[in-house]
Amino acid sequence: MSLTVTWASYKIMQSQLNLNYNLSMPIFEINQNQKYNPNSGFYETNEITIEKVSGYGNNFHSNLISIIEFNLHDSLFNSKDIKYILYGYYETTFVGNNFSETHTGYKNNLKLLEFTRNMGEKLEDSLKFRYAFIKIINYLKIDYIDINNTKKTNYYNVDFNRTTLLDEDAEILFKEFGQMETKAKYIQLFDWKDSEGDSVLRRVVDDFYSVK
């Protein structure tokens, strides 16, 4: 009888410890916003804000990676998705108290709209692709030390409509991003100039028709 009571007490204690641990886990509020400039009449800047709103932890660090994906279909009905890391989109990070961060870039939304518009038009009009769709995917990684002094990592997909917490398999994605950097699979966002844009176009088309 005493053994039964002891085991039951242990289970209750373990459940309470697990509950206390879960309640101590930090909760992050993550949003992607656009900032309007009344002087120009445009939403010129995109920013991603991160704030710890509750929970415990220390040594917080975030890593934000933006992926630009080209979904292309040529005249022979061949299709392919081509992905690159996009540099220069969120190029500046402001750090606040109690772990709050803002990832932003100077007029990055205007640059991106001009870049994707020109790329799409040239792919479809000049290079005769039947369809060219370009999108941006933001992946966020937050490392921290929890209340038990254990390193933890959260992964997120950050979009305008919602932020999605990803499972631990997302670690594979970040390893792939590291390999992409090693293989120079990245594009630098810039104020559009045909001379620079044409070199990016050639690269995207070459990657589309490559056997890889």
Q: Give me the pLDDT at residue 1, please.
A: 47
In the predicted model, what is the mean pLDDT of the chain? 87
Residue 16 lies in a domain: no
CB contact at 8 A, 72 and 143: no
Residue 157 lies in a domain: yes
Q: What is the CB neighbour count within 10 angstroms for residue 47?
A: 18
Which residues make Cβ contacts (< 8 Å) with residue 101, sequence separation at least 6? 49, 50, 62, 93, 94, 95
Domain assignment of residue 186, given as a range: 26-209
Q: Give me the pLDDT at residue 173, please.
A: 87
| 88-112 pLDDT tens trace | 999 889 888 778 999 999 999 999 9
Residue 200 lies in a domain: yes
Compute CA distances 123 → 13, 59, 199, 203, 209, whole Å. 63, 45, 13, 12, 14
| 169-199 pLDDT tens trace | 888 988 888 888 888 899 999 888 878 888 9
Closest by CA to 32, choosing from 133, 96, 102, is: 102
Give, as one character, the DSSP assignment of residue 26: -
Residue 45 lies in a domain: yes
Residue 6 lies in a domain: no
Predicted TM-score (pTM) of this structure:
0.84
| 41-57 pLDDT tens trace | 999 999 999 999 988 88
The amino acid that residue 180 corresponds to is: M
| 115-139 pLDDT tens trace | 999 999 999 988 889 999 999 999 9
Residue 7 lies in a domain: no
Which residues make Cβ contacts (< 8 Å) with residue 160, sequence separation at least 6? 32, 34
Q: Give me the pLDDT at residue 10, please.
A: 60
- What backbone phi and psi angles, to 5 degrees, belong to 83? -120, 145
Residue 3 lies in a domain: no
CB contact at 8 A, 44 and 107: yes
More reliable by pLDDT, 3 or 11: 11
The amino acid that residue 164 corresponds to is: T
Residue 149 lies in a domain: yes
Q: Give me the pLDDT at residue 212, please.
A: 57
Domain count, the chain: 1
CB contact at 8 A, 114 and 38: no
